[in-house]
Structure 1
């Protein structure tokens, strides 16, 4: 493919697909150029470094998250929708959570969500400093909720490369983990009612439960503040 048929947007989209398939470790200019049917030098003409590519890809996927309309929804409905949208995006693209710890990420895509998040908690009634804290707390919770699935994707990718040996290593590890867990009464009770592989995963609705608890806490704090001001 001639260099002039490429665009930065096409390269970023292809990079997102490659990152979804292979993770951060699988992204390199040669593999990306092959996916685009181009030469690595043509890719470098538009985007100079892998770090730039990860930054651009990481920002582009924030546009997948729909922004709630603060004029049409109360703060709590907007907060739940925004957090759920972020969670879904981070689950679709598990490499982004890893990139937060290894790359300098910034851009308009993420900034518009940061700004909206602050607006949500200011609408709720928090002063600016507490709105910052509330937004950061929810983001930390959302990100943390996706780390387990992201780690599993990375582990599965690594083990799959080892074929049958990888499957055996997983089976052996699950067996040893189960033997250890059986020494503890509450873990033993739960393992008696579910398969070890199912128990290793987070229980159903864990994210929804945790998010509602956070928002309950915010609502209680706001109500308590209003009560103190009326006295």
Structure 2
């Protein structure tokens, strides 16, 4: 004799077994909003709509927009490689860090303007990155009062170069103004084909490192 089919169990009315919102999910949605709409387009209400939850549910996980921006900053910065400061000479480690840093923000160029002015407090991966870089520079003989300026100088160059990766190929084409700028027009025409943003980055990085080496030498390091 066949047994009667068992009734399908109904889901209880209690809370779901896993949370609807997670830190990674909130951060990923915030990254997408920033890339699509910029910082003005990232509001807590817009983020809640993107996550398909009520704003009150979102506020259970993040208190302010600034908290969201710090989470985005930490999400991107955790992928930047600064391990070279443990094994390489300081200038080689700085170059490797700069290349990795540029790569991270070249993938998220819309975040540059936001991250560049977001305080690092409560961003553990970001603080850990700066700690490793600072410790490496101090060990190499850089005076403590110079270290933050070295970091900012490299970051300023790197973030600008990350934006340059998005420039159109004809950004330096003067068009109808070519006759009024013959030197600039000739220089642009003579620029080698290929990844011009990468070539400019490497040239600038070499110059920056040469200047830093010379400065450290003058400082007696």
- Map 1:152-167 to 2 at 5 A: none
2:48 maps to 1:54? no
2:119 maps to 1:125? no
Q: Deviations over 1:166-187 (max 9, x none)?
A: xxxxx9x998x42234311212
Aligned length: 203
The structure whose Rg is larger is 2
Which one of 8, 12, 23 corresponds to residue 8 of structure 1?
A: 23
Partner of 2:134, secondary structure, is helix
Which one of 94, 99, 112 corresponds to residue 84 of structure 1?
A: 99
Question: Per-residue deviation at 1:93?
Answer: 1.8
2: distance between equivalents of 1:123 and 1:42?
Answer: 46
Question: Per-residue deviation at 1:8?
Answer: 2.9
Q: 1:104 to 1:128 in 2, by over 3 A?
A: closer
Q: Single out whichever of 22-31 and 81-90 deviates more from structure 2.
A: 22-31
Match of 1:207 in 2: 201
TM-score of the aligned structures, taking structure 1 as reference length: 0.70
- What is the RMSD computed on CA atoms of the aligned residues? 3.5
TM-score of the aligned structures, taking structure 2 as reference length: 0.73
Question: Per-residue deviation at 1:69?
Answer: 3.9
2:59 maps to 1:44? yes
2: distance between equivalents of 1:68 and 1:187?
Answer: 40
Q: 1:71 to 1:28 in 2, by over 3 A?
A: closer
Match of 1:98 in 2: 113
Which one of 145, 169, 174 corresponds to residue 161 of structure 2?
A: 145
1: distance between equivalents of 2:118 and 2:152?
Answer: 19
1: distance between equivalents of 2:198 and 2:106?
Answer: 15
Question: Is the 8 Å Cα contact of residues 172 and 188 (structure 2) preserved in structure 1?
Answer: no
Q: 1:42 to 1:137 in 2, by over 3 A?
A: same
Question: Is the 8 Å Cα contact of residues 30 and 47 (structure 2) preserved in structure 1?
Answer: yes
Q: Deviations over 1:182-218 (max 9, x none)?
A: 3112122145557xxx9xx955411111112111222
Q: 1:111 to 1:56 in 2, by over 3 A?
A: same
Structure 2 regions of 5+ residues with no counterpart?
Answer: 1-14
